[in-house]
Structure 1
Amino acid sequence: MSTLAITIVSLIVCFFIGMPIFMSLIISAIIAISTCGYLPLSIIHNSLFDGVNLFPLLAIPCFVIAGTLMEHGNITKQIIDVVKQLVGRLPGGLGITTIMACTFFAAISGSGPGTVAAIGTLMIPSMVRSGYTPSYAAASASSGGTIGILLPPSNPMIIFAILANVSVTAMFTAGIVPGLMVAVFMTTMAMIKAKMEGVKTDTEQPPFNLKVFLKSLSKGGFALATPFIILGSIYSGMATPVEASVIAIVWALFVGIVINKALRWKHIKLSLLEGAMLCGTVLFIVGASTLFGKILTYEQAPLRLANMVLGVSKDPAIVLLMIVAILYFLGMFMETLSTMIILAPVLLPMITGLGIDPIHFGVIMVITNEVAMLTPPLGVNLFVASRIANLSVERISVAVLPYLLVLTISIIIVVYCPFLSTWLPAAIGAGQ
């Protein structure tokens, strides 16, 4: 058995016996090094260190801390109140509100599960009280939360930019148009689904009143300004993504303490703890995946995979759809960042060889990983929504099927329309 086969088999065995992902990657890599006989043991600690010794990774915990501070500082509630004033009376209005609020919060936190937790905690109980089924409410929150990894700032996009050696700002910009497209498709599906389930307008929500709307807008002005401050500082060139993540923390503290007077020291400690926990988790996975990826590179896995895929078709669109199918399958069993860190270095040589823009490919990887967040057994958004709604993952899995259809259509559109991902970065000169 070849070293590559031993590596893959040992990884699969580790997965199936329930080992944590980072341990599975490290153990399978050590087994491969032990059997091949030509790789030094020093590659282990060198890869683990090199994988995490990357300055852009600092943005990930900072954006998570900022998102948590905003949740505790009533900023999330203010965003929801403004959106609810606009669309709350429409059929499926609270479902639309949930998805629109997720879209807005996505421009703050950069995390899919974090978006579900922040918005779902407030919206799922409210929707159930207003006559929506718990499964509809949970499906709306978990599906809307997937937008959190496509719209900037996005943790997976930061990782991909590092792996592909492209500008983080360019990746952030590339996700805006596809992200807004997905949001529009999902809000449309929320309306259709509400009509199919016989959900009426929210009787608790008063009719639209301009005076009331302007009042909620004035109250939530600082909250609504948050994503514009974060993203504006990046796109104007005033700050790098890492610096913008720190600006987000400072702004969240200012609004939460000075404006809303809602943040307490216990909330700050909790936010720092969540950021540290996520940072530890991500860094373990990044380091282990870097080691595993080096083993695959030494074993010429990129070349072998390219030969296999190109043996079927050399049409770039067909190749991308084949990669999407692979990501669909792996996403059911592997965490989003692990899938990206392992596969991106393997696939990028083939992608660039076909003349595909790596930024376009990065958007495809990220939007396909959105599907992974909604597909059991590892769909993280489903589990977050399940805890909030006190509903089984199986019931939510059925309820999200229409949204999975929407995501699949969106992926096909992005694959065949690369300009959706590339024109905005080119227009503003992102990454140049």
Structure 2
Amino acid sequence: MIWATVLFFILLFLNMPVAFAIGIAGLVFFMTTPDLPSFLIVQQMATGTQSFPLLAVPFFVLAGHILNASGITYRLLRFANLLTRHLVGGLAHASIALTTMMGGISGSATADAAMQSRILTNDMLQRGYSKGYSVGIISVSSLITAALPPSIGLILYGFIGGVSISKLFLAGIIPGLLMAVILMAASYLVAKKEGYDQTQEFEKPSLLEVLKGLKDCIWAILFPIILIVGIRFGIFSASEGGAVAVVYATLIGFVVYRELNWTKLKSVITDAVSDTSMIMLIISAAGILGYIFSYENLPRFASDFITGITEQPTLLLFIVLLFVFLVGLFIEATAVMLLMTPLFLPVVIEIGYDPVAFGIIMVILVTMGGMTPPVGVTMFAVSSITKTSIAEYTKGSLPFLGAIIVLIVLLVIFPQISLYLPNLLLE
């Protein structure tokens, strides 16, 4: 086990793709454990992907790509800019508002941040915002997509931990909206301090302008509402909701907005297959680790070790989350979710903390690792697109990362924030 673990981290630091690092380390473990037949490694890789809830992943990934190709993104951006143009730091608020509305569409923080950095950064720089502030708020605000349905992270957590995905979808709504409010407050304070958008050259939008803007993008805003209502009233499950999302997105693209054509659809399907393949390959490799964890009884070892530090439940939870965050600084979010959930979810349940509330916190925290040095995927994406140095990005993003940490502390201390909607609608 020790040699396999050492090899795994060596391969990671050599920049080998996570799925291959897991698979090779798992193979070494099986080869060095005499009483384990080698065919089990193939069996566990296949078994790891054979689950009905996982059908939601390719469906929601495809639906997000179709909706983005349907012209919805630019309609939402115009509406977000309309609502926030008169505020101090207006374009930063527009980015946050756009992410909140896009959260029910893309399901991916990195995809959302990359898209916004392409279409918003130049405008923000022309308005006098610093590059660090601009890319920092675009990157960190994309974290909202981790909480709002149909978050891919929530689907994976629910699949690995055996937690209701429907409850997780509902539980993420209030924390996602709170995240938007906290980030807007932080962006306002920084903009006020740095003197961004102080002239207030834009007027507050009239009711007529708001209604007109809402009409233009109503089909995008209806998407997550239809999803939640359908799950709540048992019309379809969370996994089946993915198929509904694909049909909905296709109809909007071809019939309503008429911006989707067969050439775009072909490109969209290619991108969706690529994204899904990457996720499923990691899940398949994680099936090997799941078996190794069970064989070595690592969940029990982790539980005994952490509970031996202190018996105070809240402190234990913070220790678990700190460990998860530190791992997330070096490993891609999907892999962290698949590695850490089977290790720490039993510990969390043992201390009496709700697994749904923990899932929301864990998904937010793990995704945040992608926005921080040294190897954050989202950080590298926006920095590369905008040609921003890591030092400048880090300085600009710190106030917003601090705001997210405040939110995480609140969610840990008051799990009722996350559990309110699941308890109200599904009990």
Shorter chain as denominator, the TM-score bin is over 0.9
Contact 1:144 1:186 in 2 (8 A): yes
* 1:114 paired to 2:111: yes
Question: By how many angstroms is 1:129 displaced?
Answer: 2.6
Which of 412, 415, 418 does residue 418 from structure 1 map onto? 415
Counterparts in 2 of 1:28-427, with a 5 A limit?
A: 28-201=25-198, 205-427=202-424
Equivalent residue pairs, number:
427
C-alpha distance in 1 between matches for 2:303 and 2:199:
53
Q: Mark the CA change 1:257 to 1:129 in structure 2 (over 3 Å): closer, same or farther.
A: farther
Question: By how many angstroms is 1:198 displaced?
Answer: 0.9
C-alpha distance in 1 between matches for 2:208 and 2:168:
39
Partner of 2:15: 18
**One-letter code aligned to 1:31:** V
**SS in structure 2 opposite 1:399?**
helix
Instruction: Give the TM-score, by structure 1 length.
Output: 0.94
Question: By how many angstroms is 1:57 displaced?
Answer: 1.5
**One-letter code aligned to 1:270:** S
C-alpha distance in 2 between matches for 1:349 and 1:19:
30
Contact 1:61 1:279 in 2 (8 A): yes
Q: Compute the RMSD of aligned alpha carbons.
A: 1.7
Question: By how many angstroms is 1:222 displaced?
Answer: 2.1
Contact 1:146 1:373 in 2 (8 A): no
**SS in structure 1 opposite 2:142?**
helix
Counterparts in 2 of 1:2-17, with a 5 A limit?
A: 4-17=1-14
C-alpha distance in 2 between matches for 1:127 and 1:394:
19
C-alpha distance in 2 between matches for 1:170 and 1:127:
38
Question: By how many angstroms is 1:218 displaced?
Answer: 2.0
C-alpha distance in 2 between matches for 1:123 and 1:61:
28
C-alpha distance in 2 between matches for 1:96 and 1:298:
49
Question: By how many angstroms is 1:206 displaced?
Answer: 4.8
1:370-417 CA deviation, whole Å, 9 max, x = no partner? 320211222122122223323223321221111111111111111111
Question: By how many angstroms is 1:202 displaced?
Answer: 7.7
Q: Which runs of 5 or more residues in structure 2 are unaligned?
A: none
Identical-pair percentage: 29
C-alpha distance in 1 between matches for 2:174 and 2:212:
30
Question: By how many angstroms is 1:254 displaced?
Answer: 2.1
**SS in structure 1 opposite 2:30?**
helix
C-alpha distance in 2 between matches for 1:230 and 1:109:
14
Instruction: Give the TM-score, by structure 2 length.
Output: 0.95
1:83-130 CA deviation, whole Å, 9 max, x = no partner? 221211100111011011101101122111122133333222222232
